[in-house]
Amino acid sequence: MATKSTGGIEKTKSTEVKKKLNVLIVDDDPSIRGLHEMIIKRIGGISQTAKNGEEAVILHRGGASFDLILMDKEMPERDGVSTTKKLREMKVTSMIVGVTSL
């Protein structure tokens, strides 16, 4: 926070920096991934996608980090529950929200 003194009166100038919500969308269904991407973009966030849980784990091993992870429950290769457990074992602290489309 910067301050400026003018004649005994101190004015405070605050700089507000808005960070975009960074979301990982993990879902094997391309239409669901697209829908989630559209919603995230509409609210001003940025997103990245993974087709299954294994891709999500690989992204995090590579140093990626996200504010929020939207995790499908049922996927090939690694389902949402086992992926969430693995990410927690890797000390990933992102909020993980389970989603499903039945």
Domains in the chain (CATH in brackets) are 18-99 (3.40.50.2300)
User: Taking 70 as the threshold, does the pLDDT of residue 8 lie above it?
Assistant: no
Query: Which secondary structure element, helix H or strand E, spans residue 26, and what is its range?
Result: strand 22-26
β-partners of residue 2 are: 13
CB 99 within 8 A of CB 27: yes
Helix, coil or strand: residue 69:
strand
* Residue 69, pLDDT score: 97
Distance CA 96, CA 25 (A): 10
pLDDT per residue as tens digits for the range 29-81: 999 999 999 999 999 999 999 999 999 999 999 999 999 999 999 998 899 99
* Residue 31, pLDDT score: 94
pLDDT per residue as tens digits for the range 82-101: 999 999 999 999 999 999 87
Question: What pTM did the predictor assign?
Answer: 0.80
Distance CA 90, CA 87 (A): 5
* Residue 56, pLDDT score: 97
Kindly list the distances between the CA atom of residue 66 and the CA atoms of 1, 3, 6, in Å, as whole numbers in the listed order: 27, 34, 43
